[in-house]
Amino acid sequence: MLPARCVSLSTSRASRRAEVPAGRDWFHEIKHDGYRLIVQREGKRVRLLTRRGYDWSDRYPLITQAALRLRKQSFVIDEEAVVLGPDGISDFEGLHGGKCDAEVRLYAFDQLVDDGVDMRDEILQIRKLWLGKLLKRSSDGIVYNDHEAGAIGPRLFQQACKMGLEGIVSKRRDRGYKAGPCKDWIKVKNPKSAAMTRAKDIDW
């Protein structure tokens, strides 16, 4: 058993590529333009931790309240914090400006701890199943980030570009969670997205 607070804050970071993998062993997720956060809950305490270890649980109350309403008392999930515009697409400027903090929600895509059990050595497919169970009755503050599997990846990327989204992240379904740079996670960005015009990703 591993308390949620004991999990390293180091997140897995996708490798940048120009092409989306299409093999059957890949899951593909929409890449939302936001801030990467780790959500840790231990009893009645929730922390929203940035890559540099800042706790933003007071900054984003919608997320904190949603985490407290989940039925599990101890978990760690990996997510992207976003502000959604009127068109349902993530609005990075609205997020970064800080005026919409009360509206910030999370798209959850991985689970690292479940009821004190370290899940990082489990394959992604299993971690996704556990995450889906955890968020089955989640409120609006935390949303399960859907994925597609296999050969659909390149077509999904084309559709993401047409919609003006940041891009997609493809992940090997049969691998564990590795902190730091990870060749099993591949990020392909829409060349016309706003994220490509920024000097670099914001890393809090």
Task: List the catalytic residues.
Answer: 31
Q: How long, in residues, is the chain?
A: 204
How far apart CA 203 and CA 171 sit, in angstroms, is 21
Tokens of residue 167, six digits = 């891009």
End-to-end Cα spacing for the chain? 29
Distances (CA, A) of 8 to 5, 21, 101, 113: 8, 29, 26, 11
